[in-house]
Structure 1
Amino acid sequence: MTATLPRVLPSPDGKPVPPPGTDEAFRAFARDLATGRRPWTAEAAQFITAQFDQLAAHWDTTRATGRDDPVRDALARGGSMPQGPCLELGSGTGLFTPILTALFPQVISMDLSMRMLLQANGRSSRRVRADASRLPLTDASVAVIAAIDMLLFPAETARVLAPDGALLWINQLGCDGPLYLPAATVVAALPGTWQATESEAGWGSWAALRRTH
C-alpha cells in the first residue's frame, strides 16, 4: 500500500536532466535487479565500482545535483523515525551524511567504491566498503536505511532492518534519475508486506517504507 503526500517543496528551474539513452538502460537494469529478473554478478559489481571510482575525485563539482530537498522532506514528513543506527547505503562522497548524523545517534556510511568513501573524509566518521547484496551486518541491526540513488537488494535490505525500522528510498532527480524506482515497485520487491508514504520534493522524490504488522 502506498500513500502519496502533496508536494510542499517546489521544483526549481534548471533541473539537470540526464540525456536519454544511457540512463534509460540503467533504470531498466535497476528495475530488473530489484524484481529478480536479473542477477547481481561479480562482473556487474566490478563495473559499478570502476565507474564510481573514476568519478569520485570530481563527483561533488561535476555530477552531484547539490540539492537535499528529498532527503530533508523525507525526514520531516515520512513519519516518526525510530532511534538507532542508520545505514546510509550508496553513501558516495558523504554529501548527505551530515543531515543524517544530525538526527540519528550513529550513521554507517557504506559504498562499493573505495575512492568515493575516501572523498567522504571529514563528512562521515564511520565508512565501510561493502557490497549491498551481502551486507556485513547482523539481522535486524539497523533502525533506518537511507538509500539515496541506490540499487535495491530486497532480501538484504529486509534482513538487516529492524522489524519496526524504516527504509528511506530517495531519488535526487525523481523519475529522471538513472536508478529511479517508484515506491510501488520497491514495496512489491521487498519480502513480506510493506506500506509506503511518498512524495516529491525539489528535483527529486522520496518514499518512507515500513513493514505492516
Structure 2
Amino acid sequence: MIATLPRIWPSPHGKPLPPMGTAEVFRVFARDLAAGRRSWDVETARFVAILFDQLAAEWDTSRATGRDDPLRDALERGGPFPDGPCLEIGSGTGLFTPLLRGVFPCVISVDLSEQMLHQAAVRSLMRVRADAGGLPLADAQVAAVAAIDMLLFPAETARVLAPDGVVLWINQLGEDGPLHLPAAEVAAALPGDWSAVEADAGWGSWAVLRRGH
C-alpha cells in the first residue's frame, strides 16, 4: 500500500533540469537494475567509482543541483523511525549526512568513490568505501537505509535492514532526476511485502518504506 501525503514544501523557481536524453538513459538503467533485468558487475562499479572520483572536488560547488527539501520533509513526516544506525548508501560528499544524524544516533556513509568520501570527512565521522551491491555488513544490522539520488539494490537493502527498519528513498529532482524511481516500483522491487508513505517536496519527492506485517 502506498499512502500519498499532501505537498507542504513548495517547488521554487529555477529547478535545474538535467539533459533529457542523458537523464532518460540513466532512468532506464535504474529501472532495469532495480527490477533485475540488468546486472551490476565489477566493470560497471569500477566505471562509476572513477567517474565520481573525477567529479568529487567540484561536486558541492557545481554538480550538486538538488535541495534538501525532500529529505527534511521525509524526516519530519515519514516517521516514526526505529532507533539504531542509519546506512547512507551513495553518500557522496556528505551533503545530507548532518540531517540524517539529527534523527539517527549514528550514520554510516557508504560510497564507491574514495574521493567523494574524502570530501565528506568534515560532515561524516563514519565512512566506508564499499559497493552497495555487496555491502560489508551482516544481516539485519541497520535501522534505516537512506538512498538519496541512488540506484536501488533491492536484495542488499533488504538484507542489511532490521525487521522493523525503514528505507528512505529520496529523489532530489523528482521525476526529472536521472535515477528517479517511484515509490511503487521501489516497493515492488524489494523482496517481500512493503508499504510506503510518499510526498512531493521542493523540486523532488520522497518515500519511506516499511515491511508489511
Scaled to the shorter chain, the TM-score interval is: over 0.9
Kindly indicate whether the alpha-carbon contact (under 8 Å) linking 2:147 and 2:168 is maintained by their aligned counterparts in 1. yes
Partner of 1:112: 112
Partner of 2:5: 5
Partner of 1:40: 40
Distance in 1 (CA, whole Å) between partners of 2:31 and 2:122 is: 34
Structure 1 residue ranges without an equivalent (≥5): none
**Matched residues, percent identical?**
72
Distance in 2 (CA, whole Å) between partners of 1:98 and 1:66 is: 16
After superposition, residues 175-190 of structure 1 pair within 5 angstroms as: 175-190=175-190
Residue deviations 1:159-199 (CA, integer Å, cap 9, x gap)? 00000001000011011111100000000000000001000
Distance in 2 (CA, whole Å) between partners of 1:50 and 1:22 is: 19
Cα RMSD (Å): 0.7
Distance in 2 (CA, whole Å) between partners of 1:66 and 1:18 is: 11
Residue 43 (structure 1) shift: 1.3
Distance in 1 (CA, whole Å) between partners of 2:51 and 2:16 is: 20
Runs (4+) off by over 3 Å:
none
The answer to whether structure 1 residue 74 and structure 2 residue 74 are counterparts is yes
After superposition, residues 12-91 of structure 1 pair within 5 angstroms as: 12-91=12-91
Distance in 1 (CA, whole Å) between partners of 2:25 and 2:104 is: 35
Q: Please give the TM-score of this superposition, normalised by the length of structure 2.
A: 0.98
Structure 2 residue ranges without an equivalent (≥5): none
Residue 66 (structure 1) shift: 5.0
Residue 65 (structure 1) shift: 2.2
Distance in 1 (CA, whole Å) between partners of 2:149 and 2:36 is: 19
Residue deviations 1:74-94 (CA, integer Å, cap 9, x gap)? 001112011100001110000
Partner of 1:95: 95
Paired residues, what number?
A: 213
Q: Please give the TM-score of this superposition, normalised by the length of structure 1.
A: 0.98
